[in-house]
Amino acid sequence: MSQGLKIVTIGGGSSYTPELIEGFIKYHEELPVKEIWLVDIEEGKEKLEIVGELARRMVAKAGVSIDIFLTLDRRKALSGADFVTTQLRVGQLAARALDEKIPLKHGVIGQETNGPGGLFKAFRTIPVMLEIAKEMEELCPDAWLINFTNPAGMVTEAVLRYSGISKVVGLCNVPIGMERGVADLLNVDPARVRIDFAGLNHMVYGIDVFVDGKSVKSEIIELITDPDKAITMKNIHAMGWEPSFLRGLNLFPCPYHNYYYKTGDVLAQELKDAEKGETRAEVVQKLEAGLFELYKDPELAIKPPQLEKRGGAYYSDAAVRLIRSMYMDKCDIQAVNTVNHGAITGIPYESAVEVSCIITKDGPKPITVGELPIAVQGLVMQIKSFERVAIEAAISGDYEKALLAMTINPLVPSDRVAKLILDEMLEAHRAYLPQFFRKKVFV
């Protein structure tokens, strides 16, 4: 577009938004963004205004010609958009706190994208994302949907399977975080690091790790057995790995694999945190309160360094890098969530996978991996089956499908426990789950 690009960010009142704005400022010469529309809902209006004013100060300080619009009218914002980014949280942090606390009462890990918490975040989020996709089909049919909203893999799969748009890419900061982590461990420039990724969102493996084109996977595997050198995220405790296990696996696990390979250890840590009132949701609520106080400062005109504690490090780098590469047809390699198209053997052709892709103006082109190593095939396929059944339940409001999804998740020990958690969480989130209460009371 000669007059510049229109970017729409749904969930614009998020504390992450300044990081996104920083990215668009940084690459403005290559990525001619003219308008950024920040969209939120009535409950998020105050945060939207605080973040929006900070965004305007950031743009003014940088001296770039980007107009910032704030609105609660999603349709108005979407009209004529070129890229739509989504970073929403249905039910806000209070819902996340329930997602974490209720499973813990039943001796099950409580986490916002894995296990019961991830399931219920999907139940609340997928119907809203499909509404957005429908509006995009009408108002900006040529726009790309860049989804950061978790659980990103399930959301991407739902949009691919159940909406009328195909121009959707799911994005996560885990792959870029792993690459930056390797760069830090080896004390090299991140641009020299490349990881070949394959798997699913929050279930992705580094198949190989390269510096300047030379494999360093064995060296990285040895380094990350040390808890002090584990590559993790703000929301996941670093625990290190058993050296013999990692050597046997011969893959570079992502931080979220802690939940599956160290289930008991993680559960014990979460229970300890919960006793102190320090579940991740509670920690984030305090961080957010502090961030928004900072954002209100009329003298603040940059992204404050405190935002890095929030857990979303590198989101702006990942998001703007992806949009820039698509706009410029750069054909560089990035790991994203996209339709499989045969890249990973055994996962359905039309399913969403997280895999290294060549990024073009026509979207991501997955790099063929073939079969995943036998040691991880079963776990990956179990999670994919969980995702598929969970999406069906989210759309249909079918209680039996919801119970099936909960039970087949590897973090849930039995159908009995699954039912206890499911019933309690359905009631707790009733306001955001109308699909489950239209037909009949669950029994």
The phi, psi pair for 68, rounded to 5°, reads -105, 125
Residue 256 falls in the annotated catalytic set: yes
CA-nearest of 52, 18, 91, 10 to 310 is 18
CA distance 271 to 96: 16
CA distance linking residue 288 with residue 347, whole number of Å: 38
Model pLDDT for residues 146-201, shown as the tens digit of each residue: 999 999 999 999 999 999 999 999 999 999 999 999 999 999 999 999 999 999 99
Helix locations, 166-279, DSSP H: 174-186, 217-223, 243-249, 258-261, 263-275
Q: Is the pLDDT of residue 411 over 90?
A: yes
Contact present, 263 and 109 (Cβ < 8 Å): yes
pTM, 2 dp: 0.94
Q: Give the pLDDT score at 328.
A: 96
Which CATH architecture describes the domain 5-170?
3-Layer(aba) Sandwich (3.40)
pLDDT of 442 higher than 60: no
Q: Which two tokens stand for residue 175?
A: 């792959």
Q: pLDDT by residue (tens digit) across 338-352?
A: 999 999 999 999 999
Mean pLDDT of 213-227: 93
From the list 256, 259, 315, 327, the catalytic residue is 256
Which residues are paired to 203 by β-bridges?
200
Q: How far apart are CA 433 and CA 11, in angstroms?
A: 19
Any idea where the domains of the chain sit in the sequence? 5-170
Q: Specify the residue for token string 């329930």.
A: 98
114 secondary structure, DSSP code: S
Distance CA(436)–CA(432), nearest Å, equals 10
The answer to whether 429 touches 124, Cβ cutoff 8 Å, is: yes
Instruction: Dump pLDDT digits (tens) for 130-146.
Output: 999 999 999 999 999 99
The owner of tokens 């001296």 is: 63
- 27 falls in which pLDDT band (50, 70, 90)? very high
Q: How far apart are CA 64 and CA 44, in angstroms?
A: 27
Q: How confident is the model at residue 443 (pLDDT cuts 50, 70, 90)?
A: very low
Helices (H) and strands (E) in the chain, counts: 16, 13
pLDDT digits (tens, 9 = 90+) for 250-284: 999 999 999 999 999 999 999 999 999 989 999 98
For 305-333, the pLDDT digits (tens) are 877 766 556 777 789 999 999 999 999 99
| pLDDT at 227 (0 to 100) | 82
